[in-house]
Amino acid sequence: MPTYVLRVWMPDRPGALGAVASRIGAVRGDLTGIDILERGAGRAIDELIVELPSEELVPLLVAEIAEVDGVDVENVGPAPEEPVDPRLDALETAAVLVAERSVAGLLEELARRAMRDFTADWAAVIHLSGPTPLAEVGAVPPAPWLAAFVAGSRLSVAPEVSGSGPDDVAWADLAAAELAVVLGRRGRPLRARERRQLAALARIVDHRWSELVQRSSRGLHPSATSQP
């Protein structure tokens, strides 16, 4: 059965999700996954995984859900071929990153995993003093644009949490490394929970970066190769 991801705005009140689920069932759809992306100001943004008997039912599904009072469909698209579990994916990504044994490999894996976990169109790791990407995947914007974006965003308070800047771009600091990870995704805004997840990912990488740099420094110290 074709499977779709729907991003839905709904009132943050009891019964709202049940009403949406009922509309999904009315078009013979099966609600197989729910992920709450953001809550506030009396509304919630949920990402729903829905199986349908046929793709021709997608317009009807959207129309049915839109009939629920206070509910809006922000986006609908095919689900990834592999099953998605954001919490499991985040744990697997953390495990891969802490196992990396080189700085270059760590930064490359950060860009690759960030693009995968956030279904982004591109991701890059840049140095704050020089915007040329140290690692990149996808169609990364020009280096001057990246530099201007991060420099402007750093003037805001906790941009990875507050969501300042373009909705389709997110970034997070790697403070100890003086780096930043930046990613972009067309069509679906990056929500507050996703930005917090990216910031947590950056903290893991920053800590591992410090470990690897310290280990490398100890290996280069004369005492490391001196003979008794």
pLDDT number for residue 228: 46
- Give the range of the structural domain holding residue 20, as residue numbers without chain letter: 3-78
**Residue 152 clears pLDDT 90, i.e. is over it:** no
Q: Tell me, yes or no, whether 29 and 135 share the same domain.
A: no
User: CA-to-CA distance for 156 and 228, rounded, in angstroms?
Assistant: 54
Q: Tell me what pLDDT residue 162 has.
A: 40
Q: Look at residues 54, 78, 102 and tell me which one is the last residue of a structural domain.
A: 78
Within a domain: residue 149? yes
Q: Which residue, of 38, 62, 78, is where some domain finishes?
A: 78
Which residue has better confidence, 35 or 27? 27
Residue 129: exposure state from Cβ atoms within 10 A (0-12, 13-18, ≥19): exposed
Tokens of 202: 């950056």
- Are residues 97 and 53 part of one domain? no
Residues 42 and 131 reside in one and the same domain: no
Domain count along the chain: 2
Residues 69, 152: one domain? no
Nearest to 125 by CA among 173, 69, 160, 192: 173
Rounded Cα–Cα distance for residues 168 and 22 (Å): 31
CA proximity to 179, closest of 120, 114, 89, 121: 114
164 burial (CB, 10 Å; 0-12 / 13-18 / 19+) is middle
Q: Is 202 exposed, middle or buried (0-12, 13-18, 19+ CB in 10 A)?
A: buried
- How high does pLDDT run on average in the chain? 86
Q: What is the mean pLDDT of residues 13-35?
A: 93
54 plus 91 within the same structural domain: no
In the three-class reduction of DSSP (H, G, I as helix; E, B as strand; rest coil), residue 125 is classed as: strand
Which of 151-155, 161-165, 210-214 has the lowest average pLDDT?
161-165
For the whole model, what pTM was predicted?
0.71
Q: What is the mean pLDDT of residues 93-104?
A: 94
Q: What is the mean pLDDT of residues 3-11?
A: 93
CATH value at residue 61: 3.30.70.260
Same domain, 143 and 96: yes
Segment 105-128, tens digit of pLDDT:
999 999 999 999 998 999 999 988
Please indicate, yes or no, whether residues 70 and 115 belong to a single structural domain of this protein. Answer: no
Phi-psi region of 49 (alpha: psi -120 to 50; beta: other; left: phi over 0): beta
Check whether residue 155 and residue 112 sit in a common domain: yes
Both 179 and 93 in a single domain? yes
Q: Which amino acid is at 109?
A: E
Domain assignment present for residue 123? The answer is: yes
Same domain, 191 and 166: yes
Q: pLDDT class for 37, splitting at 50, 70, 90?
A: confident
Indicate if 69 and 49 belong to the same structural domain: yes
State the Cα–Cα distance between residues 59 and 128, nearest whole angstrom. 45
68 with 95, same domain: the answer is no
The answer to whether 138 and 121 have CB atoms below 8 angstroms apart is yes
